[in-house]
Structure 1
Amino acid sequence: MELRPILSTLRRHKLTATLLVLQAALTCAIVCNVVFMIANRLQRISVPTGIAESELSVIPSASIEEGENPQARHAADLAALRGVRGVQSAVAVSYSLPLDRSESSSGICPSKQALDRAMQLNTIEGSGCMQPAVYDGTPGLVGTLGLHLVAGRDFRPEDYVSQGKPAVAIVSRALAQHLYPGKQALGQSMYDGDNYIRIVGIVDRFLRPNLRSPGVDEDSMIWPQLPPGSGVLYVLRTAPGDRARVLQEGSAELLKLNANRLISAARTQTYEEIRAAYFQRDTTMIGLLLASALGLLFVTALGITGLANFWVQQRTRSIGIRRAIGATRGDILRYFQTENFLIVGVGIALGMLLAFLLNAELMQHYELARLPLFYLPMGALVLWGLGQLAVLGPALRAAAVPPVVATRST
């Protein structure tokens, strides 16, 4: 098909064609960035924690009795919880689990020399030191949480302390690599400014309670330190189908054992509820972004369809003349599809430039990452496909006009 008749027609309808080009350009720029933002949010909310999420439930408990021995209370509570039907294991932690926001962190260095560098630089950046999230808990924490030990061993009974800092620790694989890049971290002694802490085990993955950035989100460390206070979080591991019943029966057992305690009903929940609460704003944002992208595509499709219908009505006579001199229905159909392809194509070319400019603004004001190039051809294909579908109905109606009727129209 020759492009000259198409280009000639577009020159006679410059304003309408320009408006459609601008609409396609804006749609391309916005949709590419919106899809990129949705992908980032989806990646964020799907980050693995390293624990057995579907099997864990938590019960917060804070005793209000004065002079009570916290360690004895925790031991008695755990014994009662392990007696609840369906409970496979139970531990107490100091209100800290991945994605529960209550983070405790500690500066740690691979050596005393690294700490000296950090003090000279007045920052841990570039010194080799890190600031991992620190978890503690009663014996059995690694197994109850479902952490995967990839090197070394779990804690032994003699490793646990109730006062002061322990002498050993288990670290995540990410923290081990950050502290000792290219070296074997197992058996190394970290330095915290006062003590040396030997790495006795490495777990595959253990997410922080608060996400910071992808580079440090898995920097975590477990100390064999018993929870020192009366307020703890009891973590129960059960079969997924037993969690609701175990939470109810476990809370009742704790109150039966000691009524002088506070158990927050809002925080008595499965771990999946903890995760969902942490990412609630992200999931809401994904819904809003998706709705805006689909709405914009729908409006663009309506614009293309409306313009095509208008042009079919305006060109009824010329369509009939083309049919009368030998143009087939397929020729008319391809004419409108090619015309739409050219208009949308110009809009896409302009939209790609606008997409980068919009992304630069988002990077500056909202710390969004740079838009990867592969989003642009994806957006182009979507818009071209949308344009062809939107123009298909009017083009089919144009192709169905009989030559005799068309030539008699005024």
Structure 2
Amino acid sequence: MEIRPILSSLHKHRVPALLIVLEIALACAVLCNAVFMIGQCIAGVRAPSAIDEQGLSVISLGGIDEAHVESGMARNLAALRAIAGVQAAAAISDVPLGPDIWYDGLTARPDEESQINSSEYFLGSGGEQALGLKLLKGRFFSAEEFADSTLLPSHVSSSHVVLINESDARRMWPGESALGKQIYGDNAAWTVVGVVADVLGQDPNGNGPAGMYSSIFFPQRPSASLNHYVVRSAPQDRDRVLRDALQVLGKLEPGAVLEGKIYADMRADYFADTRDMAWMLMMVCVVMLAVTALGIVGLTSFWVGQRRRQIGIRRAVGASCANILHYFQTENFLLSTAGVVLGVVFGFAVNVYLMENYEVSRMPWYYLGCGALALWLLGQGAVLGPALRAAQVPPVVATRSV
């Protein structure tokens, strides 16, 4: 089929054609970036974490007399560990993805300016086992290292040792072993004694899973800062163990404010806004595609009505139904091609803007390709109905219009 008659017809209908091209371009740009952001949201929600998420229960304590924290903590932990089904229990400053967290900017050298913002967790004795940390290299903390540890007012551990995530170890010392290396932050330094599998923590910079795999663990002796108890059990015992733990602590600490949660629920709460964002972006995609499809159907139907006499003449001189169908499909293909090319440029520009202003990651090229393909298919599908109606215009229409 010759393209020249189609281009001539589009030239006569410049404004409607331009509107279709711009609509497709806008839809392509929005679709590519929205789908990319949905993918990032889903990746964050589903990101694995190397702790026993399904077996953990967390109990927060408030209103405790700081003068009796150390003796009370030993008593409370002994009672928790005595509950049937409890595999491990420990005190901790906070849990990964919990509501309150401390951050610290860490470097591999004392004079380095580029920092890694890591989530900080202060573990009481047995905290590694209670969380279910998976040791990859080195060792966990020794009893003497817990005894040395204190918590300074600036929330920086004065202990000389630290556990770090595997991802942090790779970022700080690529191709090298992290064991024995020093990390620096806030005029202090710590020696890495162990590398643990990546624990998913809070992301201070909004960089998705890559930023959430940055956690460090310090040993901490009993203090008021360790105001959470982590209880680990088999998943099938978890709910009962949490109820029993609340009852036990309620008797031992009658004046304390207790709040117990299943860790899996805490993770779900943390990602609630992310899931809502993903659903909202999905709705934006659906509405944008629906509006684009309706726009193509509407304008194509209008053009069919305006060119019924032209279609009838073509039928009268021998054009088949297939010829008419291919004509409108080719016409829409040209419009869709112009739209998706412009949309790919818009989509890339939008991603660059989001990267510079909202710390969004760079969008892989295949999102643009898939978005362009989706709009092409949408255009061909949307024009099919009006094109089929055009193909059914009888040759007698030309005679009636003379």
TM-score by length of 1: 0.84
> What's the CA shift string for 1:10-48, capped at 9, x where partnerless?
122222112211211222222222223333333343443
1:341–1:282: structure 2 CA closer, same or farther, 3 Å change rule? same
Query: What is the rounded CA distance, in whole Å, between the counterparts of 1:66 and 1:99 in structure 2?
Result: 26
Q: Answer yes or no: is the 8 Å Cα contact 1:155–1:224 preserved in 2.
A: yes
Structure 1 pair 250–34 and aligned structure 2 pair: CA distance change class (3 A)? same
For 1:331 and 1:36, the matched residues in 2 are separated by 39
Residues 202, 367 of structure 1: CA spacing in aligned structure 2 closer, same or farther, 3 A cutoff? closer
Aligned to 1:133: 119
Deviations along 1:364-401, whole A, 9 cap, x unmatched?
Answer: 43333444433222221111111111111111222233
- State the partner residue of 2:25: 25
Contact 1:136–1:227 under 8 Å retained in 2: no
Mapped to 1, the partners of 2:134 and 2:198 lie a distance apart of 7
Are 2:167 and 1:168 aligned? no
Counterpart mapping for 1:8-407 below 5 A: 8-65=8-65, 67-68=67-68, 70-94=69-93, 96-105=94-103, 114-115=109-110, 118=111, 124-125=112-113, 132-161=118-147, 163-164=149-150, 165-188=158-181, 197-212=190-205, 213=207, 217-229=212-224, 232-264=227-259, 268-404=260-396, 407=399
* Partner SS for 1:374: helix
| Structure whose residues are more often strand by fraction | 2
Shift of 1:333: 1.4
CA deviation after TM superposition for structure 1 residue 108, in Å: 5.9
Report if the CA contact (8 A) 1:20-1:304 is conserved: yes
Q: State the one-letter code of the partner of 2:354.
A: L
User: Letter of the aligned partner of 2:256 in structure 1?
Assistant: R
Structure 1 residue 196: deviation in Å? Answer: 6.6
| TM-aligned CA distance change 1:191 to 1:348, over 3 Å | closer
SS of residue matched to 1:223: strand
3-state SS of paired residue (1:263): strand
Are the structure 2 counterparts of residues 18 and 178 from structure 1 closer, same or farther at C-alpha, using a change threshold of 3 Å? closer
Give the Å deviation of 1:253. Answer: 1.8
Deviation at 1:340, TM superposition (A): 0.7
Query: How many corresponding residue pairs?
Result: 393
Which SS does the other structure have where 1:253 is aligned?
helix
Question: What is the letter of the counterpart of residue 37 of structure 1?
Answer: M
Task: Tell me if the contact between 1:63 and 1:230 (Cα under 8 Å) persists in the aligned partners.
Answer: no
1-side partners of 2:348 and 2:183: how far apart? 45
In structure 1, what is the Cα distance between the partners aligned to 2:223 and 2:10? 78
Contact 1:97 1:209 survives alignment (8 Å): no
Shift of 1:101: 4.5
Rate the CA distance shift 1:352–1:183 in 2: closer, same or farther, 3 A. Answer: closer
Summarize the Cα distance change of 1:155–1:40 in structure 2 as closer, same or farther, 3 Å threshold.
same
Q: Is the 8 A contact 1:109 1:190 kept in 2?
A: yes
TM-score normalised per structure 2: 0.86
Once the 2 structures are TM-superposed, how far is the Cα of residue 237 of structure 1 from its aligned partner?
A: 1.9
- How far apart are the structure 1 equivalents of 2:82 and 2:401? 89
1:271-321 Cα shifts (integer Å, max 9, x gaps): 222223323332222222221222111111001011111122222232233
Tell me, in whole angstroms, the C-alpha distance in 2 between the residues paired with 1:362 and 1:221.
Answer: 29
Structure 1 residues 25 and 82: CA distance shift in structure 2, 3 A: same
SS across alignment from 2:90: strand
Contact 2:66/2:223, CA 8 A, preserved across alignment: no
The Cα of 1:65 is off from its aligned counterpart by: 4.2
Distance in 1 separating the partners of 2:18 and 2:195: 61
**RMSD value over aligned CA atoms?**
2.9
Partner secondary structure for residue 327 of structure 1: coil
2 CA distance for matches of 1:139 and 1:66?
A: 18
1:406 deviates by: 6.3
Q: C-alpha distance in 2, partners of 1:195/1:10? A: 70
Task: State the percentage of identical aligned residues.
Answer: 43
Residues 4 and 230 of structure 1: CA distance in aligned 2, closer, same or farther (over 3 Å): closer
| Residues 49 and 98, structure 1, Cα contact 8 Å, conserved in 2 | no
Residues of 2 paired with 1:315 and 1:327: CA distance? Answer: 15
Query: What is the CA distance between 1:60 and its match in structure 2?
Result: 0.6
